[in-house]
């Protein structure tokens, strides 16, 4: 007890009840989900064996991962450009850009999804405009397919990609870049050999954030995919609400959770996660 007291600051005893409460409120439901995946409709592993038996589930998983990877790629590349521009803009412009970024961050996902539908739909201004100037003879199918889902998701994810990158870029020591130029490196050499490696923690952080959030996307694929792009989150919701196969839904939810944790674990093998989330790097 005395040894324990030495290691634990007495302040923790004050926090302990709340900490325990929060831990229970988080862990309880998660354990319940895990239990459901093993016990509904009957005890056993039959929900998990469906993963191997049914190509539908494999296909849904594959669609989800494919869309999430592409979304992450585009969102991070675009987000990197925006963050780079913001860091190097004058203070006034910077705050303008930040305001626009945050405004789009605050607009509801439904509104943003339906705006794309109106803008890029068959009778939207883009298609009508292109047709009017004779660029295309048939409306381009931007929406109600995988392309539509990707456009909607990348757009939604850009602010999430920008913010970690922005924080990372703002903390860089600009003198390092000046030194590189001073020592004779060209601008692109400086960027690729000095700047880019120094922003790796920011890139990893924003990619992780975007990828994990993309996994749970539900509204955008359901609306912009025209019913043909089925991702895990929507499938889970159908199994919960319509077909009432809670075991399958819980199994998929548990799998997604395990996937995210596994990803974090693999990441931690390559780099200190605390640097990704803004901690000290040493």
Partner 1 sequence: MSDKQFMRETLVEGAHAFKAGKMDRRTFLALCGATGFVSASVLAGDAQAAADHVVMWNWGGQSEECHGSAIGEAFTAATGKGLKFDTSGPLEGKIKEMVDSGNVTADVADADLFNAVSLGPTGHLEAIDYSVVSKEKTLPGYALEHGVSIILYGYAFVYDTEAYGDNPPENWADFFDTEKFPGMRSLYKWANGSLEAALLADGVAGDALYPLDMGRALSKIKSIKDNSLYWGSGSAAHSMVVNGEVSMGMIWQNRGRNIENDTDGRYKLVNNQALAMPGAYIVPKGNPAGRDAVMKFIATAQEVDAQLKLLDCLGMTPSNPAAFNKIPEGQQDYAITSAKNIEKIVYNDPDWWGKNGGDAVNAFLEAIS
Taking CB under 8 A as the criterion, the residue among 226, 257, 267, 275 binding partner 1 is 226
CB of 252 to partner 1, least distance (A): 13
In whole angstroms, what is the distance from residue 141 CA to residue 151 CA? 12
Residues in binding contact with partner 1, number by CB under 8 A: 24
Cα separation values, 242 from 46, 115, 135, 246, 282, Å: 20, 28, 44, 10, 51
Peptide bond before 41: cis, by omega within 30 degrees of 0? yes
Q: Does 216 bind partner 1 (CB under 8 A)?
A: no
Q: Which is nearer to partner 1, 138 or 173 (CB)?
A: 138
Name residue, tokens 């016990």: 39
Q: Which residues in 95-124 contact partner 1 (CB under 8 A)?
A: 121-123
CB of 128 to partner 1, least distance (A): 11
Q: Does 164 bind partner 1 (CB under 8 A)?
A: no
Cα separation values, 97 from 56, 94, 163, 174, Å: 43, 5, 12, 21
Q: Does 74 bind partner 1 (CB under 8 A)?
A: no
Q: Does 197 bind partner 1 (CB under 8 A)?
A: no
- Exposed e or buried b per residue across 63-91, where buried means at least 16 C-beta atoms within 10 angstroms of its C-beta: bbbebbebbbebbbebbbebbbebbeeee
Taking CB under 8 A as the criterion, the residue among 28, 44, 227, 279 binding partner 1 is 227
Which distant-in-sequence residues (6+ apart) come within 8 Å of 266 by Cβ? none
Taking CB under 8 A as the criterion, the residue among 76, 79, 142, 144 binding partner 1 is 144
Q: Does 222 bind partner 1 (CB under 8 A)?
A: yes
How far, rounded to the nearest angstrom, does the alpha carbon of residue 117 sit from its chain's CA centroid? 22
Taking CB under 8 A as the criterion, the residue among 65, 89, 167, 238 binding partner 1 is 238
Site string for partner 1, 17-56 (x = CB under 8 A): ---------------------------------------x
Token pair, residue 149, equals: 């889902």
CB of 212 to partner 1, least distance (A): 23
In whole angstroms, what is the distance from residue 48 CA to residue 38 CA? 8
Q: Which is nearer to partner 1, 73 or 139 (CB)?
A: 139
Q: Does 63 bind partner 1 (CB under 8 A)?
A: yes
Q: Does 61 bind partner 1 (CB under 8 A)?
A: no
Taking alpha carbons only, the member of 30, 60, 92, 84 closest to residue 232 is: 60
| Residues 227, 237, 248, 212, Cα dihedral to 10° | 90
Q: Does 240 bind partner 1 (CB under 8 A)?
A: yes
Q: Which is nearer to partner 1, 149 or 163 (CB)?
A: 149
Determine contact, residues 116/143, Cβ cutoff 8 Å: yes
Q: Does 228 bind partner 1 (CB under 8 A)?
A: yes
Determine contact, residues 222/146, Cβ cutoff 8 Å: no
Taking CB under 8 A as the criterion, the residue among 52, 242, 266, 280 binding partner 1 is 242
Interface with partner 1 by CB under 8 A: which residues? Answer: 56, 59-60, 63, 121-123, 144, 222-223, 226-230, 235, 238, 240-246
């Amino acid at each position: 007890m005395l040894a324990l007291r030495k290691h634990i600051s007495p302040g923790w005893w004050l926090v302990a009840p709340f900490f325990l409460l929060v831990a229970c409120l988080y862990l309880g439901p998660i354990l319940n989900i895990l239990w459901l995946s093993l016990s509904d409709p009957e005890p056993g592993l039959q929900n998990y064996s469906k993963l191997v038996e049914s190509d539908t589930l494999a296909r849904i998983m594959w669609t989800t991962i494919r869309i999430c990877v592409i979304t992450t790629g585009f969102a991070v590349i675009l987000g990197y450009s925006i963050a780079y521009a913001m860091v190097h803009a004058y203070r006034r412009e910077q705050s303008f850009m930040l305001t626009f970024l945050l405004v789009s961050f605050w607009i509801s996902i439904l509104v943003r999804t339906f705006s794309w539908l109106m803008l890029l739909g068959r009778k939207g201004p883009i298609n009508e405009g292109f047709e009017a100037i004779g660029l295309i003879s048939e409306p381009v199918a931007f929406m109600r397919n995988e392309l539509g889902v990707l456009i909607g998701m990348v757009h939604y994810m850009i602010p999430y990609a920008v913010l970690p990158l922005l924080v990372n870029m703002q903390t860089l020591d600009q003198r390092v870049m000046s030194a590189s130029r001073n020592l004779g490196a060209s601008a692109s050499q400086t960027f690729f050999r000095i700047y880019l490696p120094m922003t790796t923690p920011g890139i990893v952080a924003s990619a992780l954030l975007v990828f994990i959030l993309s996994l749970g996307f539900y509204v955008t694929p359901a609306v912009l995919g025209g019913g043909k792009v089925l991702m895990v989150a929507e499938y889970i919701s159908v199994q919960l609400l319509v077909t009432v196969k809670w075991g399958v839904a819980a199994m998929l939810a548990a799998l997604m959770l395990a996937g995210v944790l596994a990803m974090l674990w693999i990441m931690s093998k390559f780099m200190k996660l605390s640097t990704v989330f803004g901690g000290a790097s040493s």
